[in-house]
């Protein structure tokens, strides 16, 4: 899923400092699962904003809403009836949701309340980790199901650099050396010979380097 | 392919070679690199020029190499894949060759996290193995990666690094094999302090006959002080400094420590010279280039052969 993290409250407050009436919109998709932008977080952020503004002697009116998915126009449309009554919208979705709202509602500013951090998963309660960089050309069959593009600090394709130490990455002892993990996994699977194949230069055109991406599925279009 | 590289010619004659390195200046003064070049000129067969080492911005490797070339030296242009995509890499390769640079060392480079621009974006369009392939492709096939023909090929002698001390140890010989499969012709190793481990790595190299496919130059760096020994041991990832060596530096008084560091380095070189498959020594005296002639002299590496 897409993992997000709430922006510092000071940053959010500065975006809306001149607004009197705002709409805070959550999303029931990924950001609810990673506890960053669901109904609960909408309520917590709204309370924090109200409190801060009251303290400043500059109260603000906030409506709280959470829709199914902000990355889907069908649900974004649900805001149509009342969105223009507000001075601004704080979206608690990922960057996709913020943009889908901004594309649909042209008259009022849509501000991000989260930083969209990565594509990842839940490792344990309260811990999320990056696993995919959406390079558009998956090579996990060659790397024991462990991704060096997303998880090696240098995205090396042919093995660990000289900074791999006790299974950790040279840039931070909290980060696993992904090539140690790949090597161990290939060994477990009895397929170490894959390691010695020279991996040719990756085609990055399927990644963001090739420009913004789009999928057209003719079989699904109406 | 035989290039105009002095280093390659000496290695192919079976000479035991000596290389060293120059760190370029952090400004526009060319005399700094010229001065370092003069210190090393008659002591080494070729000299590496680092490419923004430790991710600290310096004068470019390519322009520093040109300055050394003008002194009549045979520079080895280090190139990291951290800062350039394949377009810039190929452009710099042909530019270097046009200036008469004969050697390239293909590296991935230190992560920018360690340098003075930790917020910079890194590139890593290629890794070091793929950079070796790129130079081979341009030189031997006469083509750009994109498939077009080159108008004259860059005749570069192709090197890479190997770190026998990084983890996992079992991957270090296969990783060398990959670099050889990609087409590397010489290797300079990470600084060697743990000789037993290096010898173990060389055994693995010889078992697979890799020492016959590539020229291995063993890397050494003299300690200036016990502080430096401790720093290398504890703070530099992938560095293996045995406790006994730190203790030895500790055992002499402060003023004598530089001399002790040089003595350790000389002893290390003498032992490395005896290892089957080691074809040369790479002396990396970090901001201490003036000591390289003394080290080379004491280690019996002088005079350097003429071509």
Please report, rounded to a whole number, the percentage of residues in chain A having pLDDT higher than 70. 100
Question: For residue A23, what is the enclosing H or E element?
Answer: strand A21-27
Residues from chain A that touch B166, judged by Cβ atoms under 8 A, are: 160-165
Q: 3-class SS at B218?
A: strand
Please list the residues that pair with A63 across neighbouring strands: A23
| Distance of alpha carbon B52 from alpha carbon B38, whole angstroms | 21
Q: What was the pLDDT predicted at B76?
A: 98
User: Are A74 and A166 members of one domain?
Assistant: no
Alpha helix segments (H runs only) across B57-150: 61-69, 86-98, 128-136
User: Are A185 and A139 members of one domain?
Assistant: yes
- Number of domains observed in the structure of chain A: 2
Residues 121-150 of A with CB under 8 A from B: none
Alpha helix segments (H runs only) across B114-194: 128-136, 172-182
SS3 content of chain A, % helix, strand, coil (to 5): 35, 25, 40
- Predicted confidence pLDDT, tens digits, chain B (307 residues): 889 999 999 999 999 999 999 999 999 999 999 999 999 999 999 999 999 999 999 999 999 999 999 999 999 999 999 999 999 999 999 999 999 999 999 999 999 999 999 999 999 999 999 999 999 999 999 999 999 999 999 999 999 999 999 999 999 999 999 999 999 999 999 999 999 999 999 999 999 999 999 999 999 999 999 999 999 999 888 899 999 999 999 999 999 999 999 999 999 999 999 999 999 999 999 989 999 999 999 999 999 999 8
Confidence of residue A100 (pLDDT cuts 50, 70, 90): very high
User: Are A100 and A141 members of one domain?
Assistant: no
Residues from chain A that touch B232, judged by Cβ atoms under 8 A, are: none
- Residue from B109, B118, B130 whose CB has the most chain A CBs within 10 Å, to mutate: B130
For A26, the domain range is 2-118
The full set of domain ranges for chain B reads 6-298
User: Are A94 and A154 members of one domain?
Assistant: no
The candidate with the shortest Cα–Cα distance to B160, out of A192, A194, A161, is: A161
Residues from chain B that touch A195, judged by Cβ atoms under 8 A, are: 171, 174
Residues 193-212 of A with CB under 8 A from B: 195-196, 198-201, 204
CA distance A218 to chain B (A): 32
Residues from chain A that touch B83, judged by Cβ atoms under 8 A, are: none
| Distance of alpha carbon A147 from alpha carbon A199, whole angstroms | 14
Q: What was the pLDDT predicted at B236?
A: 87
Last residue of a domain, one of A118, A152, A173: A118
Strands A172-176 and A168-169: antiparallel
| pTM, two decimal places | 0.96
Residue A9 lies in a domain: yes
Domain B6-298 has CATH 2.102.10.10: no
Q: Which residue of B has its CA nearest to A153?
A: B111
Q: Are B176 and B163 in contact (CB under 8 A)?
A: no
| Distance of alpha carbon A86 from alpha carbon A22, whole angstroms | 5
Q: Are B207 and B224 in contact (CB under 8 A)?
A: no
Last residue of a domain, one of A70, A93, A118: A118
Report the CATH number that the domain containing residue A48 is assigned in CATH: 3.40.50.2300
ipTM: 0.93
Residue A126 lies in a domain: no
């Amino acid at each position: 899923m897409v993992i997000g993290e709430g922006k510092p409250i000071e940053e959010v407050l500065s975006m809306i400092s001149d607004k009197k009436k705002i709409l805070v919109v959550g999303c029931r998709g990924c950001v609810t699962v990673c506890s960053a932008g669901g109904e609960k977080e909408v309520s917590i952020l709204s309370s924090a904003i109200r409190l801060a503004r009251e303290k400043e002697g500059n109260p603000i009116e906030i409506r709280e809403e959470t829709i199914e998915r902000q990355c889907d126009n069908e649900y974004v449309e649900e805001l149509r009836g009342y969105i223009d009554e507000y001075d601004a919208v704080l979206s608690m979705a990922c960057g996709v949701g913020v943009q889908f709202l901004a594309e649909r509602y042209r008259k009022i500013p849509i501000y991000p309340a989260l930083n969209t951090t990565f594509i990842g998963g839940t490792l344990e309660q309260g811990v999320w980790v990056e696993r995919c960089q959406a390079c558009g050309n998956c090579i996990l069959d060659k790397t024991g199901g462990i991704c060096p593009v997303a998880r090696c600090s240098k995205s090396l394709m042919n093995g660990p650099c000289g900074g791999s130490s006790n299974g950790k990455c040279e840039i931070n002892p909290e980060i696993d050396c992904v090539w140690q993990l790949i090597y161990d996994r290939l060994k477990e699977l009895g397929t170490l010979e894959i390691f010695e194949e020279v991996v040719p230069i990756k085609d990055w055109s399927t990644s963001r380097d090739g420009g913004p991406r789009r999928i057209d599925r003719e079989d699904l279009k109406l | 392919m035989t290039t105009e590289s002095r280093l390659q010619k000496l290695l192919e004659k079976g000479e035991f070679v000596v290389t060293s390195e120059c760190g370029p200046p952090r400004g526009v003064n060319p005399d700094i690199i010229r001065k370092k070049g003069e210190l090393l000129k008659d002591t080494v067969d070729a000299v590496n020029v680092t490419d923004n080492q430790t991710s600290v911005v310096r004068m470019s490797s390519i322009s520093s190499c040109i300055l050394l070339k003008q002194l009549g030296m045979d520079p080895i242009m280090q190139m990291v894949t951290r800062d350039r995509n394949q377009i810039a890499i190929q452009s710099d390769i042909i530019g270097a060759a046009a200036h008469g640079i004969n050697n390239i060392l293909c590296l991935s480079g230190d992560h920018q996290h360690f340098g003075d621009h930790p917020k910079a974006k890194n590139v890593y369009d290629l890794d070091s193995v793929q950079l070796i392939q790129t130079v081979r492709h341009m030189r031997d096939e006469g083509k750009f990666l994109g498939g077009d023909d080159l108008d004259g090929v860059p005749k570069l002698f192709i090197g890479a690094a190997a770190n026998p001390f990084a983890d996992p140890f079992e991957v270090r010989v296969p990783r060398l094999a990959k670099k050889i499969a990609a087409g590397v012709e010489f290797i300079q190793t990470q600084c060697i302090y743990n000789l037993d481990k290096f010898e173990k790595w060389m055994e693995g190299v010889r078992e697979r006959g890799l020492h016959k496919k590539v020229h291995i130059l063993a890397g050494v760096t003299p300690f200036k002080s016990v502080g430096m020994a401790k720093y290398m041991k504890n703070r530099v990832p992938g560095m293996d400094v045995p406790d006994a060596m730190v203790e030895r530096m500790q055992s002499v008084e402060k003023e004598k420590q530089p001399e002790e560091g040089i003595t350790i380095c000389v002893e290390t070189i003498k032992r490395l010279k005896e290892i089957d498959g080691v074809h040369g020594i790479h002396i990396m005296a970090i901001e201490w280039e003036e000591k390289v002639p003394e080290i080379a002299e004491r280690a019996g590496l002088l005079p350097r052969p003429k071509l």
